[in-house]
Amino acid sequence: METPDNATPAGDPDDTDTPTGIAAKDWATASAEPQYRAAVVDLLGALAYGELAAFERLAEDAKLAPSLEDKAELAKMASAEFHHFERLRDRLAAVDAEPTAAMEPFAKALDDFHRQTAPSDWLEGLVKAYVGDSIASDFYREVAARLDSDTRALVLAVLDDTGHGNFAVEKVRAAIDADPRVGGRLALWARRLMGEALSQAQRVVAERDALSTMLVGGVADGFDLAEVGRMFSRITEAHTKRMAALGLAA
Amino acid sequence: METPDNATPAGDPDDTDTPTGIAAKDWATASAEPQYRAAVVDLLGALAYGELAAFERLAEDAKLAPSLEDKAELAKMASAEFHHFERLRDRLAAVDAEPTAAMEPFAKALDDFHRQTAPSDWLEGLVKAYVGDSIASDFYREVAARLDSDTRALVLAVLDDTGHGNFAVEKVRAAIDADPRVGGRLALWARRLMGEALSQAQRVVAERDALSTMLVGGVADGFDLAEVGRMFSRITEAHTKRMAALGLAA
């Protein structure tokens, strides 16, 4: 698997370890370009709403917990997502963007995703928390390389604070060990999650030009649909490997 | 209204500003008495489960929010309750009590309370958050005077960090100004909340001897039902005054 860390960023074939282009600039310099500015506001809005929606879903899933310890663990994840939301919202305000206006364009896609993938039991909730956390991490890493230094620092800080995955992995593995048929059901579930996530992501990409253009290699290089496809396919591959490691054929 | 701060603590008629009895001791000394120790474990267990349940309900109520800002505000309250839960749970573990075992005796009363008082709209949710927060503060203050210095410091620290009430007060007042009939409906609702809270609290008092005895004036002085009644009545009075200030006839 190509990880975003050692992959050559698209649209920048001469990239070395020294940041170039947008990545070499700070926010004050980079944001002078209106389209870049709009793309970052879009990105922060999408991430902020994503964290708030994740808070709500994890808090909801905590109800399915079989024990008080498990409930507390999911509540802790939910609370961590809320703190990510706060940082992203505060950053939007700090760059004079109205947080609500920045989040709203992404509310429908994220709400639809969560509505389409409401877990029917505790294990489905855990797999969803794990898959969601992992895909979000992959996406944050993909996008970080394309950001100015200030925005990148924020995105990486929010990413750094995640990683609740171990809890989910342990519980899911134990459940599959106890009853291997659970693995088949959860593998189907993980496929559905990924399919629904991609379908909503593609809707967002189609609707938000500035954001999509940035994601695929920077404002100057124009929109490259093939590169969007490659990014989705890197994220999907990473997902497949994680599912296999979890004992779920993806 | 007698506030707990200037009221004479029950069972200690000679109380001055200098702590005496349990309040003059630290945890290491006070917990040598097994009944006191059991009472504090009960108390921390009840508070911890209360905070976890409050987290869940506030996160649930966030769904009713009419705007993204309002949703974020309720999510923030929920997250604060979760952090209170963490402190109380960690304290239970630090005094070698099993947190889950300490919480479980109180789960049913708190779950029943929340089930009986599920808000049917955003304003009912806000009134419930405000009433719940205020009653919890009153109760924490009542009980703090009866605790050893270490436990008291924790209870007051958790209390100090609440006070999200202003948000609810503003929103409820604005709603009543816009439509005075809302006031009548919410007044009924607040009465129902208080009635249900008292009924669950009385069940807990009846079932948990060590805790109840401590609440009414310390282990040495025995159980005084009249003092439990006075404590409930101080809390009810404070509630009535708050509701009146909010524009709700209680």
Distance from CA of A136 to the nearest CA of B (A): 20
Residue B218's contacts (CB-CB under 8 Å, 6 or more residues apart) are B11, B12, B21, B22, B146
| Gap between the Cα atoms of A235 and A148, Å rounded | 22
Residue B14 resides in a domain: no
CATH number at residue B211: 1.20.1260.10
Q: What is the DSSP letter of A5?
A: T
ipTM confidence:
0.74
Task: Enter the pTM of the model.
Answer: 0.80
A82 reaches B (C-beta below 8 A): yes
Name, in order, each residue with C-beta under 8 angstroms of A198's C-beta and a sequence gap of 6 or more: A232, A236
What residue of B is the nearest CA neighbor of A67?
Answer: B100
Nearest CA in chain B to A62: B56
**Res. B196: pLDDT tops 50:** yes
Residues in chain A within 8 Å Cβ distance of B90 = none
Q: Does B55 touch chain A (CB under 8 A)?
A: yes
Say if the Cβ atoms of A79 and B76 lie within 8 Å. no
Q: Does B62 touch chain A (CB under 8 A)?
A: yes
Cβ of A59 and B59 within 8 Å? yes
Find the domain containing B80 and state its range.
Answer: 24-245
Q: Rounded CA gap, B85 and B88, in Å?
A: 5
Domain total in chain B: 1
Answer for the pair A204, A45: CB distance below 8 angstroms, yes or no: no
Give pLDDT, residue B240. Answer: 87
- Written in H, E and C, the secondary structure of B36-97 is HHHHHHHHHHHHHHHHHHHHHHHHHHHHHCCCHHHHHHHHHHHHHHHHHHHHHHHHHHHCCC
Does residue B29 fall inside a structural domain?
A: yes
A247 in the Ramachandran plot: left (φ > 0), alpha (ψ -120 to 50) or beta?
left
Which chain A residues contact residue B78 at CB under 8 A?
59, 78-79, 82
- Tokens 């855990």: give the residue: A126
Residue B63 clears pLDDT 50, i.e. is over it: yes
pLDDT higher than 80, residue B182? yes
Q: Which of A168, A88, A89, A158 is nearest to A123 (CA)?
A: A168
Q: Is the pLDDT of residue B219 over 80?
A: no
Tokens standing for residue A58: 């994890």
For residue B7, the model assigns a pLDDT of 40
CB contact under 8 A, B99 and A52: no
Nearest to B103 by CA among B47, B40, B172, B173: B47
Low-confidence winner among A57-61, B65-69, B93-97, B229-233 (lowest mean pLDDT): B229-233
CB distance A205 to A228 below 8 Å:
yes
In this predicted model, which residue has the larger pLDDT, A101 or B195? A101
Q: Is residue A3 part of a domain?
A: no
Task: Provide φ and ψ at B237, rounded to 5°.
Answer: -60, -45
Q: Which residue of B has its CA nearest to A89?
A: B72
pLDDT digits (tens, 9 = 90+) for A97-128: 999 999 999 999 999 999 999 999 999 999 99
A155 or B164, greater pLDDT: A155
CA distance B186 to chain A (A): 26
B16 token code pair? 């001055």
**Max mean pLDDT range (A169-173, B164-168, B245-249):** A169-173
> Can you read off the two tokens belonging to residue B122?
């955003």
Output the DSSP codes for A47-87. Answer: HHHHHHHHHHHHHHHGGG-SSHHHHHHHHHHHHHHHHHHHH
For residue B10, the model assigns a pLDDT of: 44
Is residue B104 predicted with pLDDT exceeding 70? Answer: yes
CA–CA separation, A137 and A116 (whole Å): 21
CB A186 within 8 A of CB A49: no
CA distance A156 to A178: 37
In a domain, A179, yes or no: yes
Tell me which residue of A35, A30, A175, A52 sits closest to A106, measured CA to CA: A52
- Top-confidence residue, B201 or B118: B118
- Distance, in Å, from the CA atom of A109 to the CA atom of B200, rounded to the nearest integer, reads 42
Statement: residue B1 has pLDDT above 60: no
- Inspect the interface and report whether the beta carbons of A56 and B56 lie closer than 8 Å: no
Contact B82 A76 (CB under 8 A): yes
CB B123 within 8 A of CB B186: yes
Please report the sign of the dihedral spanned by the C-alpha atoms of residue B211, residue B213, residue B216, residue B218: negative
* Residue B217 lies inside a defined structural domain of this protein: yes
| H/E stretch holding A231 | helix A225-245
- B19 in any annotated domain: no
Output the pLDDT for position A162.
Answer: 56
CB pair distance less than 8 Å for A67 and B99:
no
Q: Residue A4, SS3? A: coil
The shortest CB-CB distance from B71 to any of A52, A62, A69 is to A52
Regions of chain A short of the pLDDT cut 70: 1-20, 160-164, 216-225, 250
Contact A71 B83 (CB under 8 A): no
pLDDT of residue A2: 38
CA distance A66 to chain B (A): 12
Residue A85 lies in a domain: yes
Q: Are A128 and A197 contacting, i.e. CB atoms less than 8 angstroms apart?
A: no
Which residues are within 8 A (CB) of A34 and not within 5 positions of it... i.e. 6 or more apart? none
Cα–Cα distance for residue pair B80/B176, rounded to 1 Å: 28
Q: How confident is the model over B36-55, as a mean pLDDT?
A: 93
The whole-angstrom separation of Cα B30 and Cα B79 is 32
Helix (H, G, I), strand (E, B) or coil at A212: helix
Tell me the C-alpha distance between A49 and B71, whole Å: 11
- Contact status of A115 with chain B (Cβ, < 8 Å): no
Q: Is A160 on the interface with B (CB under 8 A)?
A: no
Give the SS3 label for residue B25.
Answer: coil
CA distance B119 to B189: 9
Q: Whole-number mean pLDDT of chain B?
A: 83
Q: Percent of chain B, pLDDT > 70?
A: 85
**Domain for residue B79, yes or no?**
yes
- What does the buried/exposed string (b/e) look like for B180-199 if buried means 16 or more CB atoms within 10 Å of the residue's CB? eebbebbbebbbebbebbbe
Flag if A72 and B78 touch (Cβ within 8 Å): no
What's the first-to-final CA gap in chain A, in angstroms?
15
Decide if A85 touches B, using CB distance below 8 A.
Answer: yes
pLDDT exceeds 50 at position B69 = yes
pLDDT band at B161 (very low <50, low <70, confident <90, very high): low
